[in-house]
Chain A
Amino acid sequence: MSPRTIIDKIWDAHQVRAESSETPAILFVDLHLIHEVTTPQAFSELRARRLRVRRPERVLATLDHSTPTLPATADGQRRYVSAEARQQVDQLEANCAEFGIELHGWNSEHRGIVHVIGPELGATQPGMTIVCGDSHTATHGAFGALAFGIGTTEVGHVLATQCLLQRKPKSMAIHVDGALRPGVSAKDLILHIIGRIGVGGGTGHVIEYRGEAIEALSMDERMTVCNMSIEAGARAGLIAPDQVTFDWLHGRPRAPRGADWQRALDAWHSLASDAGAHYDREVHVDASAVGTTISYGTHPGMVTPIAAAIPTARDAQEAKALAYMQFDGGQTLSGQKVDAVFVGSCTNSRLSDLREAAAVMRGRKVATGVRALIVPGSVQIKREAEAEGLDAIFRAAGAEWREAGCSMCIGMNGDIARPGQLVVSTSNRNFEGRQGPGVRTVLASPRVAAMAAVAGVITDPDTFQERAA
């Protein structure tokens, strides 16, 4: 057999029927993650057609998007943004009960952002096909799974048949050679990569991130990188599993145990791309050239090293983006006044992210006039952070410590900023209006976001100590 990529291997192992020129492949789905926003219409379709969920044990549900992040009131009332949001959550609870699906709902110790809890439970495993009605499903690729977002019609397909109709995507290798400089985060790296290949640069492709700098990343960091693959237009992004992956998974609630663990390891070891495997496209990135990176425009491809002046608009599109952001080409963003800071989302809401933000905020105060929202990715992470006293650091600094959920990443639950406000956010999308109508979003790492919170202005980490002193 000719050398295969990890993408080929997972694809081949899940083809119920191969594709032809007439029809796409029928691809078996190992794990289907669902949440309240993109599923109600799929369940309605099932009901209308009198269909059952074919493999309920392969479906895992959680509540994250429309859920309030403020604690329930004293009498136990959840503070939903609207009756509709509440109804959406109620409906998922009812659907899961009716169809026998495991739901990590309000009383679960594992409720949280869908892409945070899959790995946390050990449900996300190497070599799997994983789908979710959510474009950031690529996060699970960090474990060497082929994981991608689907629409609601396809959610229905998977519920009813555990399969999808898919054309095989093209493959792209992004080699990150060398080592990241100290203080440069996974978020900086992925923003840099998107800036390099463009927001449509990955369209039609699955990206495999490779190279020394990738191997050196922790699992949390790998998830941050894979998470934003969609921001380059890619269907999915993944990283071959290695000892870092296995160590992280071992002992998790749904990870294989005993003899099964050993057999799983044997299978997982054979997943990595073969030497000489063909990719449709290959890109090389020099890790040592990556600096602290932030976005300045209205899509995640408009990024700049924080110390550099932002480019002048080259066309009407860029001019429009700069006008929306109220920035001028040639200006440096460092020193720009900030109204709010959001640390959270499936990109950067894990324990290591919270630790980074807390390290900055420890003993400092959030600047006057700045609102800082810290939202852990899952109930579990919240507990772990509290056990370490991170919540106390955030609270003492004057930041809001919230319940787990998507929160201000998408603002569906009412966690939004006001028109014209500038938010430094650790999330993944700086689209116009993503964090509320007219809101201006600057994407950054947790460290840079926390520095902006305490300084009150966008701050280059290289000058942070001086400013804070």
Chain B
Amino acid sequence: MKPLNQVQSRTAVLPFENIDTDRIIPARFLTTTGRAGLGRHAFNDWRYLADGTDNPDFPLNKDAARGCRILVAGRNFGCGSSREHAPWALLDYGIEAVISSEIADIFRSNALKNGLLAIVIDADAHRDLLANPGSELVIDIAEGSISKADGSKIEFSLDRFARHCLLNGVDQLGFLLDAEAEISAWESRRAADPWAMERAA
């Protein structure tokens, strides 16, 4: 994963609440065994009409939204399934950050592991961003702030480990692999533990 410090872009807005992962990428596109090229199915059933052409009413298809890398979405974004295809599709589509007042746990965890910023802000600031598509924002990860064009700032908090990983491009699997000796030691200690009764074997 590449280190990520800042995301700067105009915003595109999807004002709907509870945008679930089936909306972000419908299940019929999950038969892939790779992760590339999913962007063309991002929001597939909203984005395209039945004949495969762009749906002119879908907010992200408007000219003003094209090329925006920051998505502001209604409350409880990413609810539903654990499919990591959702953040893969958004990243491939060109989204680098999602901002909402509430983001579903698994989606958020998946997003951050892939370098897609998933940011939760308070309800007032969120309402304001929802009402103003096309806002020019600078998201600063180290600082935990979103700067608006008028110079005002919205603060957000990010788990320190997630922030560290984003800023330094840390590979979390590498981090776990480094703990191998500790894991092995724990396993052998546990062999004598009554809690270890279960046998996965």
Contacts and interface: CB of A to CB of B under 8 A. Distances in A.
Given A26-B183, A256-B199, A299-B18, A200 B79 contact: yes
A38 interface: yes
Contacts, number: 199
Given A160-B176, A267-B194, A31 B200 contact: yes
A157 interface: yes
Nearest to A316: B15
- The winner among A49, A160, A169, A233 for most chain B CB atoms within 10 A is A233
A447 interface: no
A84 B161 contact: no
Interface string A175-209: 00000000000000000000000011001100000
Nearest to B159: A167
Contacts of B180: 161
Contact of A203 (B104, B164, B175, B190): B104
A16 B175 CA distance: 14
Interface residues of A, number: 83
B103 to A, nearest CB: 8
A411 interface: yes
Interface stretch (B20-28, B52-60, B61-69, B145-153): B20-28
Interface in A1-51: 13, 16-17, 21-24, 26, 28, 30-31, 37-38, 40-41, 44-45, 49, 51
A66 interface: yes
Given A151-B106, A157-B172, A165-B172, A433 B22 contact: yes
B35 interface: yes
B45 interface: yes
A161 B159 contact: no
A127 B194 CA distance: 11
Contacts of B113: 151, 153-154
Contacts of A123: 200
B146 to A, nearest CB: 21
Contacts of A163: 176, 179, 183
Contacts of A128: 198
A317 interface: yes
Interface string B82-126: 111000000000000000001011100110011000000000000
Contacts of B143: none
A162 to B, nearest CB: 7
A113 to B, nearest CB: 14
Contacts of A38: 82-84
Interface string B186-200: 110010011101111
Report which residue of A41, A55, A151, A419 has the largest number of chain B beta carbons within 10 angstroms of its beta carbon.
A151
A320 interface: yes
A91 B33 contact: yes
Contacts of A91: 33
Contacts of A152: 84, 110
B33 A203 contact: no
Interface string B13-43: 0011110101100111011111100000000
A84 B106 contact: no
A41 B45 CA distance: 24
A134 B160 contact: no
Nearest to B87: A151
A312 B114 CA distance: 40
A256 B198 contact: yes
B114 A153 contact: yes
B5 interface: no
Interface in A399-448: 410-412, 419, 429, 431-434, 437
A46 to B, nearest CB: 9
Contact of A317 (B32, B74, B106): B74
A16 B183 CA distance: 6
B12 to A, nearest CB: 18
Given A21-B160, A38-B84, A134-B81, A58 B200 contact: yes
A266 interface: yes
Contacts of B183: 16, 26, 28, 161-163
B75 A200 contact: yes
B200 A55 contact: yes
A317 B17 contact: yes
B45 A432 contact: yes
Interface in A226-247: 230, 233, 235
Nearest to B199: A256
Given A17-B179, A87-B33, A433 B23 contact: yes
Interface of B: 15-18, 20, 22-23, 26-28, 30-35, 45, 50, 74-76, 79-84, 102, 104-106, 109-110, 113-114, 159-161, 164, 172-173, 175-177, 179-180, 182-183, 186-187, 190, 193-195, 197-201
Q: Which 10 A-B pairs have the closest CB atoms?
A: A151-B110, A40-B33, A58-B200, A149-B82, A57-B201, A151-B84, A84-B31, A152-B84, A200-B76, A264-B197
21 contacts: A17-B179, A17-B182, A21-B160, A24-B159, A37-B30, A41-B34, A51-B177, A57-B200, A91-B33, A127-B198, A149-B106, A151-B83, A151-B110, A200-B102, A230-B80, A254-B199, A317-B16, A432-B22, A432-B23, A433-B26, A437-B50
Given A123-B200, A165-B175, A412-B27, 5 more contacts: A26-B183, A135-B81, A200-B18, A200-B75, A263-B194
